[in-house]
């Protein structure tokens, strides 16, 4: 098969070369037939590689895929390489434990999955073709869903939130808040509002003291430079611990967008699966987080909100009652929310300019010329000159008084010359009141004192301790880092909902069955071949040779010796499990050892999977014992 | 998902109409059938769906499917589910509680559609005490509780479908003239006719009462006269002051076929008994002592009226509210320009007099030339130096007064009067000392609450007939005074932040004429008056008026 590239072949060989002798020869014998000693492993590996590179072999392997295989393959395609334990853990709600172990083992026997240091990966020689059978539906249910137009924590919501915090000087949810966000369901809004308040405080975007809450506009701007999608990723990754929380959020969000909706089982599967993939610690609160930020809404099933945020903001409609409205999403750097208060966030976003909103903007260093230019540039139908005049007058009035928070420095002419001319001093000067009287910065008192001393001035030794408490701006490298990462986040490409190729009903090649029946074989050899044929590991006539790879696989009823023999065979082997049928239950165990009572009764000491609880079981009480080869490595 | 249509339906049940869209007019024609106009500035008009607007629509035969289909048709975005639900829930409540006549004329019969509503009614004490259980779905109600039960049921979200026909009252033939007594051609304008149609409907159950909102100067009186013509019955008109009473009487005599002996006045000065009476709210609510009865309220209740017109209905005083609740069998009309009460009791007014039946944006009538084009200016001046300290240390009220009575306003008034040498000018204010100063300074006549009615009438007449070009008036001229030629109003002070007062004062100069009108509000810069002025201007700003600010260095 020409298109199988060398890299895939090399990868196949490398993986196979790491297998234990037992496993390796088990597989080699199955696919290559009887092996002649002395064994030349590299040659055998090359033969296996050639075999699985043949188009006919590939097609035969693929034709035998069934819907259960598809679930496991889709799981690996979505969440990357997984251990057997991880697979059984992820799917335990949907399939029985024993069944899962058998099927995962079977996929390894069929060399569809290979083990890579204990984690299962696609056979590199088949990977491209296998991926075509993978999709989200086998994992998340066959029911069709579509994303719904539902409100979520968007950048537009964030703008409105900032505007309201600036207006109220606090970020506490109250009933009046819901009037501003009529599309948001009240309880959800309350949750979102509070969570946002907490998170933004942690991030230092909101600065709170006992009396009021203010905004660090620079950080707010940084957050608003994100797209809706990136913002949600950032919010979802808020409480996650691990190596790649943002990537986790990206994968989860993107997959949910593709699905449009799912039930709780599927949702938990996705969360847990991506937690494994991105090494993020799973927390049960993640489901709540998805709901809090508006990504999901529960309506029988979970409905996913369509995250768009790409519709550009229309030009502003500025009415004489000082309302400003638009549709769509403001671009990064849009300043409307800084000088106007949110009225309503709906299809039409409406803000209102008031004296207080303008003064707030001036306080946050947004000057009138900037506001004027913004309004003139963005107004849909020309700017109302009367309104501009009003704002201009307000600005003039605002500038009539300036309050400095600083320290008065009165000095002689010589020192004044230094302050005027020495850049290292003048940068700490807020204003010059007279040629020898200055207001110096309070927060850099230590520095300018040092500079003065250094310049040879006698500076009073007592520092000003009567400081006004200045709210410390938190500098959080994590915030910068996360916003930076979120900004460069490109959307994860999830599997499609439906596979490119559907699995047909797996069929067994009757000609092979007949060949086995006609072959000159002992009973044991025939039984073993029959078993392997049923397990879909006999694909070619060349595999039908007289040999026994699995001496006994099952013993039950009055075949006490058979049962004892199986227990002996499995004892101490980590790649073999025993499936036990007791009067009232079925157990999957790892056989630890077999012991006998003085009355010669065989007792099996076994660890019950997956809890690994150790039990002593009399073999005579076991109706049926079945040997399961589950781990190939 | 997005259509090129003029309407946006928001989740808070407001509807935003882009007035620049080519189909906005057609859309508006649909909206007015089931929405209320909230504001109409220059670009985006706001309508709202409310329980009352939907019940009103239902009572006029506008059903849910029509409303939803029109919204689907006009809306740019899909109509939110919550709004659909609200419309279906509210509109279908109409007709679930029906009031009709019973065999006993002193009782009415109240029918409820379901056991659930019945239980709800009986569990509410205020309602249950009014009802006598007749059978599983019917109650008896004393006839005099007709208004009260409606009020109570509206409070719990059930409108009463009142199928008891209104009393027609004694017949008083009246028709409108083609030419007024003054010799001018006269016709009812299309919107005035539409307003009357909206109120009267087919004169069947559910119609014949309500409120009509039209801008100042657009001819609300004519709407009243047209309704009188349609009902031809004994009519009581209640208005705000004696001058307005006289104005109504003059209009009735000038524009209808009624004769002087048919139209009377019921005021503090004169108490006539005629087929058509015009009275004031003051006389109805007058009482000799604080806790005593209102002797003249009987005029309302015992006058056997077929029609009551409440002029400037937003001014309806509380005692009249109560009586109005008892007058549910009478055709009744509320007229106003400003659907705002500073006390926020609009809903009560409209549930008693009747819901808003007609409204039209101010700027639309301005564009059609039915009201004058008006330019609003806010002139800002500084306080004189000697007033700065008293202002700084004054209480809030003192501050406002000092700013309002700023002496420099006199210079502004002078300059504005000079600016308009050919206009008829009203100088309007709140504080009598200030107004007297202005009047003395310019040698102008002044009208205040203490000016005798005869003198007032004479001064208004001189103004109307061109003998007096400038009048100084207090708040007595805020409402209902028709001075057709006034084209400039200079407001030197006002009642704090009253939005309706500002609009009504502007209304004094909105009668259409062959020149533009100018409204000046003179405000002290850097004072609390600026803030009150901003609040006062809100209503007009919502109608699309914008104030040009001038800063004067006097």
**Residue A23 neighbours by CB under 8 Å, 6+ apart:** A575, A632, A633
Q: Which long-range contacts (CB under 8 A, 24 or more apart) does B420-423 make?
A: B420/B487, B420/B488, B420/B518, B423/B469, B423/B487, B423/B488, B423/B515, B423/B518
B12 contacts A346? CB cut-off 8 A = yes
CA–CA gap between residue B218 and residue B237 (Å, rounded): 19
Token pair for B498: 């009253």
* pLDDT surpassing 60 at residue B287: yes
Residue B290 clears pLDDT 80, i.e. is over it: no
Q: Check pLDDT > 80 for residue B46.
A: yes
Q: B159 or B420: which carries more pLDDT confidence?
A: B420
Q: Which long-range contacts (CB under 8 A, 24 or more apart) does A586-591 make?
A: A586/A98, A587/A615, A588/A97, A588/A98, A588/A101, A588/A628, A589/A615, A589/A617, A591/A567
Q: How many CB pairs under 8 A join A and B?
A: 68
| Residue B57 CB partners (closer than 8 Å, separation 6+) | B33, B34, B67, B91
How many angstroms away from the CA of A317 is the closest CA of chain B?
Answer: 7
Burial of A484 (0-12, 13-18, 19+ CB in 10 A): exposed
DSSP H or E stretch at residue B438: helix B432-442
Give which of A228, A229, A151, A214 is closest to A183, Cα–Cα.
Answer: A151
* B48 reaches A (C-beta below 8 A): no
Which chain A residues are within 8 Å of B11, Cβ to Cβ? 182-183, 346
What average pLDDT does this structure show over B527-539?
91
3-state SS, residue B48: strand
Task: Convert the pLDDT of each residue in B352-401 to its tens digit.
Answer: 788 888 888 888 899 899 999 999 999 999 999 999 999 989 999 999 99
CB contact under 8 A, B534 and A149: no
Q: Does B206 touch chain A (CB under 8 A)?
A: no
Q: Is the pLDDT of residue B351 over 70?
A: no
Band (pLDDT 50/70/90 cuts) for residue A463 is low
Q: Hey, what are B23's tokens? A: 């189909």
Instruction: Return the residue of A nearest to B549 by Cα.
Output: A386
Task: Look at A320 and B544 and tell me if their CB atoms are within 8 Å.
Answer: yes
**Predicted pLDDT of residue B323:** 74
In angstroms, what CA-CA distances link A16 with A25, A48, A72, A87, A548? 10, 9, 21, 21, 22
Determine the distance in angstroms separating the CA of B549 from the nearest CA of chain A, rounded to an integer: 6
Q: Pick from A182, A347, A381: which is nearest to B43 by CB?
A: A381
Q: Which residue from A182, A183, A389 is facing B549, i.e. has the nearest CB?
A: A389
CA distance A321 to chain B (A): 5
Listed range (A315-329, A459-473, B115-129) with the worst mean pLDDT: A459-473
Q: Is the model more confident about A155 or about B268? A: A155
Phi, psi of A580 (to 5 degrees): -115, 135
Q: Is the preceding peptide bond at B337 cis, omega within 30 degrees of 0?
A: no
pLDDT tens for each residue of B105-129:
889 999 999 999 999 999 999 999 9
Average of pLDDT values for B12-39?
Answer: 93
Is residue B341 over pLDDT 70? no
CA A355 to chain B, closest CA, distance in angstroms equals 9
User: Residue A105: enclosing H or E segment and its boundaries?
Assistant: helix A97-109
Decide if B190-360 and B367-552 have a common fold.
yes
To the nearest whole angstrom, how far is the Cα of B504 from the nearest Cα of chain A?
18
Query: Is residue A509 very low, low, confident or very high in pLDDT (cuts 50, 70, 90)?
Result: confident
Distance from the Cα of residue B357 to its chain's centroid: 12
Whether A179 contacts chain B with CB within 8 A = yes
Please state at what angle helix B64-74 crosses helix B24-31, rounded to 10 degrees.
160
C-beta atoms of A323 and B41 within 8 A: yes
A389/B14 touch (CB, cutoff 8 Å), yes or no: no
Choice among A597-601, B26-30, B213-217, B478-482 with the minimum mean pLDDT: B478-482
Beta carbons of A384 and B11 less than 8 Å apart: no
The phi and psi torsions of B429 (rounded to 5 degrees) equal: -155, 175
For residue B68, the model assigns a pLDDT of 97
Mutate to test the interface with A, among B6, B44, B531 (most CBs of A within 10 A): B44
d(CA A359, CA B299): 55
Partner-chain contact A320 B8, CB within 8 Å = no
- Band of residue A471 on the pLDDT scale cut at 50, 70, 90: very low
Average pLDDT for A404-421: 90
| pLDDT on residue A572 | 87
Cross-chain CB nearest to A348 (options B8, B534, B549): B8
Question: With contacts defined as CB-CB under 8 Å, which chain B residues touch A393?
Answer: 380, 549, 551
Angstroms from A228 CA to nearest CA on chain B? 20
Predicted local confidence at residue B218, as pLDDT: 92
**Assigned token pair, B339:** 């659907």
Contact yes or no for B549 and A390 at CB 8 A: yes
Q: Looking at the complex, does the CB of residue B546 fall below 8 Å from at least one CB of chain A?
A: yes
**Domain range summary for chain B, segments of one domain joined by +:** 7-91, 97-158, 190-360, 367-552
A183–B538 CB contact, under 8 Å: no
Pinpoint the alpha helices (H) of B237-382. Answer: 242-255, 281-284, 298-301, 318-326, 346-353, 362-367
Find the mean pLDDT for residues A465-474. 48
CB contact under 8 A, A319 and B548: no
Segment holding B211, helix H or strand E: strand B209-213
Contact A506, A66 (CB under 8 A): yes
Chain A positions touching B545 (Cβ under 8 A) are: 320
Q: Which of B44, B544, B548 sits opposite A386 (nearest CB)?
A: B548
The backbone torsions φ and ψ at residue A30, rounded to the nearest 5 degrees and listed phi first, read -60, -45
Chain A residue with CA closest to B539: the answer is: A321
Cβ A355–B538 below 8 Å, yes or no?
A: no
Q: How far is B409 from chain A (nearest CA, A)?
A: 20
Question: What's the CATH number for B190-360?
Answer: 3.40.50.300
Distance, CA of A232 to chain centre: 12
Contact at 8 Å (CB) between B74 and B7? yes
- From CA A173, how far away is CA A156, in angstroms rounded? 18
Question: Tokens 């970020």 sit at which residue?
Answer: A171
Q: In the structure encoding, which two tokens stand for residue A53, read together?
A: 């590179």
Phi first, then psi, for residue B83 (nearest 5°) are -75, -40
Average pLDDT of the segment spanning B535-546 = 88
Is residue B404 pLDDT above 80, yes or no? yes
- By Cβ distance, the residue of A318, A322, A344 closest to B12 is A344
Selected residues 304-343 of chain A with any CB under 8 Å from a CB in chain B: 317-323, 325, 327
Angle formed by the axes of helices B528-536 and B499-507, nearest 10°: 70
Sequence-distant (6+) residues with CB within 8 A of B483 are: B424, B426, B460, B463, B464, B471, B508, B511
* pLDDT (0 to 100) of residue A523: 87
Backbone torsions φ then ψ of B381, nearest 5 degrees:
-135, 160
The whole-number pLDDT of residue B241 equals 86
User: String of b and e for B327-355 (b: at least 16 CB within 10 Å)?
Assistant: bbbbbbbbbbbbbbbeeeebebbbbbbbb
What's chain A's Rg over C-alpha atoms?
36
Residues of chain B found within 8 Å of residue A147, distances taken between Cβ atoms: none
Higher pLDDT, B220 or A211: B220
Report chain A residues whose CB lies below 8 A from the CB of B380. Answer: 393
pLDDT(A1) > 50: no
Are the C-beta atoms of residues A79 and A248 closer than 8 Å to each other? no
Map residue A253 onto helix, strand or coil: helix
> Residue A108 in 3-state DSSP?
helix
Answer yes or no: do A348 and B16 touch at CB < 8 A. yes
Long-range contacts of B537-540 (CB under 8 A, 24+ apart): B537/B376, B537/B378, B537/B499, B537/B502, B538/A321, B538/B499, B539/B338, B539/B340, B539/B499, B539/B500, B539/B502, B539/B503, B540/B376, B540/B499, B540/B502, B540/B503, B540/B506
Is the pLDDT at A468 greater than 50, yes or no?
no
**B76/A347 Cβ within 8 A:** yes
Positions of E strands within A533-622: 554-556, 576-581, 586-596, 602-608, 613-618
Residues of B in contact with A322 (CB under 8 A): 541
Beta bridge partners of B236: B277, B308
Across A388-397, B44-53, B312-321, least confident range: B312-321
Tell me if A346 and B10 make a contact (CB, 8 A cut-off).
yes
pLDDT tens track for B231-268? 999 999 999 888 899 999 999 999 999 999 999 999 98
Of residues A633 and B316, more confidence is placed in B316
Are B7 and B16 within 8 A, CB to CB?
yes
**pLDDT tens digit string along B458-482?**
999 999 999 999 999 998 888 767 8
pLDDT at B441 over 60: yes
Q: pLDDT (tens digit, 9 = 90+) per residue, A36-95?
A: 878 888 999 999 999 999 999 999 999 999 999 999 999 999 999 999 999 999 998 888
Residue A473 pLDDT exceeds 60: no
- Report pLDDT digits (tens) over B176-199: 999 999 899 999 999 999 999 999
CATH class of B367-552: alpha beta
Task: Test B43 with A380 for CB contact under 8 angstroms.
Answer: yes
User: In this complex, do B10 and A397 lie within 8 Å of one another by their Cβ atoms?
Assistant: no
- Number of H helices and number of E strands within chain A? 28, 20
- Is B377 within 8 Å of chain A by CB? no
Res B115: pLDDT: 94
**pLDDT bucket at A320, cuts 50 / 70 / 90:** confident
- Whether B16 sits inside 8 A of A319 (CB atoms) is no
Listed by number, the residues of chain A in 379-398 with a beta carbon closer than 8 Å to a beta carbon of chain B are 380-381, 384-387, 389-390, 393, 397
What's residue A403's pLDDT? 86
Query: Please, which residues 56-115 of chain B have a Cβ atom closer than 8 Å to chain A?
Result: 76-78, 80
Distant-in-sequence, close-in-space partners of A256: CB < 8 Å, separation ≥ 6: A262, A270, A290, A295, A296, A304
Q: Do A317 and B43 count as a contact with CB atoms less than 8 A apart? A: yes
Q: What ipTM, to 2 d.p.?
A: 0.81
The whole-chain average pLDDT of chain B stands at 90
Record: contact B541-A321, CB cut-off 8 A: yes
pLDDT in tens, B62-102: 999 999 999 999 999 999 999 999 999 999 998 899 999 89
Instruction: Assess whether pLDDT exceeds 50 at residue A467.
Output: no
Indicate the angle between helix axes B220-231 and B242-255, nearest 10 degrees: 60
Give the residue from A177, A320, A328 with the most B CB atoms within 10 Å of its CB, the best one to mutate: A320
Q: What is the pLDDT of residue A457?
A: 78
pLDDT tens track for A520-546: 988 889 988 998 999 999 999 999 998
Closest to B522 (Cα-Cα) out of B490, B545, B554: B490
Are B97 and B153 in contact by the 8 Å Cβ rule? The answer is yes
- Whole-number Å distance between alpha carbons of B160 and B131: 14
**CB-count exposure of residue A205 (10 Å: 0-12, 13-18, 19+):** buried
A468: Cβ contacts below 8 Å, ≥ 6 apart: A405, A442
Contact A397 B526 (CB under 8 A): yes
Under the banding of pLDDT at 50, 70 and 90, the label for residue A470 is very low
């Amino acid at each position: 098969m020409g298109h199988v590239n060398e890299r895939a072949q090399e990868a196949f060989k490398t993986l196979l070369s790491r297998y234990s002798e037992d496993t390796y020869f088990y597989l080699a014998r199955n696919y290559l037939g009887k092996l002649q000693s002395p064994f030349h492993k590299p040659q055998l590996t090359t033969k296996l590689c050639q075999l699985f590179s043949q188009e006919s072999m590939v097609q035969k392997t693929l034709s035998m895929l069934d819907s259960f295989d598809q679930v496991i393959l889709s799981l690996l395609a979505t969440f990357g390489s997984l251990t057997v334990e991880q697979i059984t853990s992820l799917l335990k709600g949907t399939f029985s434990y024993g069944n899962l172990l058998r099927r995962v083992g079977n996929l390894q026997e069929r060399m569809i999955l290979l083990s890579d240091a204990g984690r299962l990966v696609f056979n590199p020689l088949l990977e491209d073709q296998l991926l075509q059978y993978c999709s989200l539906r086998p994992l998340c249910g066959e029911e069709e869903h579509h994303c719904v137009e539902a409100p979520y924590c968007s950048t537009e919501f964030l703008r409105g939130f900032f505007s309201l915090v600036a207006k109220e000087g606090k970020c506490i949810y109250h009933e009046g808040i819901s009037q501003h966000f009529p599309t948001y369901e009240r309880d959800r809004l309350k949750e979102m509002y509070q969570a946002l308040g907490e998170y933004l405080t942690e991030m230092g975007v909101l600065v709170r003291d006992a009396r009021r809450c203010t905004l660090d506009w620079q950080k707010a701007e940084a957050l608003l430079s994100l797209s809706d999608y990136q913002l949600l990723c950032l919010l979802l990754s808020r409480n996650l611990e691990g190596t790649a929380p943002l990537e986790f959020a990206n994968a989860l969000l993107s997959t949910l967008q593709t699905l449009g909706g799912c039930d709780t089982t599927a949702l938990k599967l996705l969360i847990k699966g991506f937690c494994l993939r991105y090494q993020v610690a799973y927390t049960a609160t993640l489901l709540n987080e998805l709901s809090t930020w508006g990504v999901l809404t529960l309506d029988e099933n979970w409905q996913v909100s369509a995250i768009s945020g790409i519709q550009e903001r229309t030009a502003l409609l500025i009415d004489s009652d000082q309302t400003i409205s638009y549709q769509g999403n403001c671009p990064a750097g849009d300043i409307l929310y800084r000088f106007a208060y949110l009225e309503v966030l709906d299809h039409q976003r409406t803000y209102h300019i008031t004296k207080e909103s303008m003064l707030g903007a001036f306080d946050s260093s947004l000057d009138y010329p900037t506001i004027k230019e913004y309004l003139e540039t963005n107004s849909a139908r020309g700017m109302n000159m009367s309104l501009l005049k009003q704002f201009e007058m307000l600005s003039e009035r605002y500038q009539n008084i300036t309050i400095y928070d600083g320290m008065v420095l009165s000095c002689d002419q010589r020192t004044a010359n230094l302050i005027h001319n020495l850049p290292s001093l003048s940068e700490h000067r807020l204003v010059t009141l007279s040629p020898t009287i200055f207001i110096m910065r309070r927060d850099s008192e230590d520095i300018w004192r040092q500079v003065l001393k250094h310049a040879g001035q006698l500076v009073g030794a007592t520092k000003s301790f009567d400081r006004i408490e200045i709210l410390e701006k938190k500098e959080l490298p994590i915030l910068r880092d996360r916003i930076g990462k979120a900004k460069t986040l490109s959307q994860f490409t999830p599997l499609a909902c439906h596979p490119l190729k559907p699995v047909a009903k797996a069929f067994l090649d009757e000609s092979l069955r007949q060949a086995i029946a006609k072959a000159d074989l002992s009973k044991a050899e025939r039984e073993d071949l029959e078993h392997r044929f049923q397990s879909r590991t006999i694909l070619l006539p060349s595999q039908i040779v007289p040999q026994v790879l699995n001496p006994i696989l099952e013993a039950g009823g009055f075949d006490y010796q058979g049962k004892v023999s199986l227990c002996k065979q499995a004892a101490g082997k980590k790649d073999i499990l025993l499936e036990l049928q007791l009067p009232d239950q079925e157990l999957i165990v790892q056989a630890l050892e077999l012991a006998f009572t003085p009355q010669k009764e065989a007792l099996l000491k076994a660890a019950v999977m997956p809890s690994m609880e150790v039990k002593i079981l009399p073999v005579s009480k076991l109706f049926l014992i079945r040997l399961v080869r589950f781990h190939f490595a | 998902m997005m259509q090129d249509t003029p309407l946006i339906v928001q989740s808070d049940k407001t509807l935003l109409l882009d007035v620049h869209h080519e189909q906005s007019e057609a859309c508006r024609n649909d909206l007015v059938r089931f929405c209320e106009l909230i504001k109409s500035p220059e670009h985006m008009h706001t309508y709202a769906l409310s329980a009352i607007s939907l019940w009103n629509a239902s009572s006029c035969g506008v059903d849910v499917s029509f409303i939803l289909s029109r919204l689907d048709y006009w809306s740019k975005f899909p109509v939110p589910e919550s709004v659909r639900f609200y419309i279906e829930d509210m509109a279908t409540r109409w007709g679930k509680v029906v009031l009709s006549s019973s065999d006993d004329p002193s009782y009415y019969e109240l029918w409820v559609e379901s056991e659930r509503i019945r239980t709800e009614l009986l569990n509410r004490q205020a309602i249950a005490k009014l009802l006598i259980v007749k059978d599983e779905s019917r109650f008896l109600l004393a006839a005099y509780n007709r208004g009260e039960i409606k009020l109570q049921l509206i409070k719990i979200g059930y409108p009463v479908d009142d199928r008891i026909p209104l009393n027609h009252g004694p017949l008083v033939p009246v028709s409108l003239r083609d030419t007024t007594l003054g010799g001018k051609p006269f016709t009812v304008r299309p919107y005035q006719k539409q307003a009357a149609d909206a109120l009267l409907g087919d004169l069947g159950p559910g119609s014949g009462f309500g409120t009509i909102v039209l801008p100042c100067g657009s001819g609300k009186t004519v709407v009243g006269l047209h309704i009188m013509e349609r009902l031809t019955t004994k009519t009581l008109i209640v208005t705000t002051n004696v001058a307005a009473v006289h104005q109504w009487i003059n209009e009735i005599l000038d524009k209808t076929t009624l004769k002087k002996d048919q139209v009377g006045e019921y005021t503090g000065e004169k108490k006539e008994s005629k087929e058509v009476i015009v009275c004031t709210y003051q006389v109805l609510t007058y009482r000799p002592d604080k806790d005593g009865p209102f002797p003249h309220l009987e005029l309302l209740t015992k006058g056997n009226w077929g029609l009551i017109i409440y002029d400037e209905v937003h001014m309806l005083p509380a005692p009249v509210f109560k009586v109005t609740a008892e007058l549910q069998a009478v055709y009744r009309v509320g007229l106003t320009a400003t659907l705002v009460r500073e006390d926020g009791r609009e809903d009560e007014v409209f549930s008693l007099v009747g819901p808003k039946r007609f409204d039209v944006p101010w700027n639309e009538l301005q564009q059609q030339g039915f009201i004058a084009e008006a330019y609003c200016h806010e002139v800002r001046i500084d306080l004189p130096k000697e007033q700065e300290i008293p202002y700084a240390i004054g209480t809030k009220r003192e501050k406002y007064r000092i700013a309002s009575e700023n002496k420099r306003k006199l210079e502004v008034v002078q300059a504005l009067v000079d600016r308009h040498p050919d206009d008829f000018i009203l100088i309007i204010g709140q504080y009598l000392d200030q107004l007297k100063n202005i009047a003395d300074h310019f040698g102008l006549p002044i009208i205040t609450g203490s000016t005798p009615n005869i003198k007032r009438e004479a001064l208004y007449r001189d103004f109307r007939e061109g003998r007096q070009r400038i009048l100084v008036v207090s708040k007595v001229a805020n409402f209902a005074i028709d001075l057709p030629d006034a084209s400039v109003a200079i407001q030197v002070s006002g009642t704090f932040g009253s939005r309706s007062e500002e609009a009504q004062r502007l209304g004094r100069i909105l009668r259409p004429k062959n020149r533009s009108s100018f409204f000046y509000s003179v405000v002290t810069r850097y004072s609390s008056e600026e803030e009150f002025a901003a609040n006062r201007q809100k209503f007009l700003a919502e109608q699309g008026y914008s104030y040009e600010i001038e800063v004067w260095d006097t």
